[in-house]
Amino acid sequence: MSFSLDEQIKAVEKWQNCEFVHPLVCGNNFNHSLLVPKRRYAADYHGEFTDNPDWISLVCTDCNYEQDYIPEYVFGLTYVNLEKIEEILNSLKKKSNDK
């Protein structure tokens, strides 16, 4: 399935904000801030002007590490209802604490 650039950004942000998955981290230092999605333009690399972003990169805001690869499993989280999972986990924790 193909995702628009806006959908890719939302998927990465959802992944990075999910407490149930391992976040995407800096390739230079995993203690840096989590990677953030950034729109990239061919003009950034080829000197040609364009208004339309061509792809999304993941960038570390601490050291400017950048990767163009976004793992496919990140987009799978788009279809997961995180609120429902959190509700179930909280219910299980409450039951565990009531024992």
Q: Are 75 and 3 in contact (CB under 8 A)?
A: yes
Q: Are 90 and 19 in contact (CB under 8 A)?
A: no
How does pLDDT run along the chain (99 residues), one tens digit per residue? 578 889 899 999 988 998 888 999 999 999 999 999 998 877 655 556 556 667 899 999 999 899 989 998 888 876 666 777 778 888 888 888 886
Full-model pTM? 0.71
Q: Locate 99 and state its tokens.
A: 């024992």
**Range of the structural domain that residue 19 is part of:** 5-98
- CB-based burial, 57-94: b 16+ in 10 Å, e otherwise: bbbbeeeebeeeebeeebbeeeeeeeeeeeeeeeeeee
Count the domains in the chain.
1
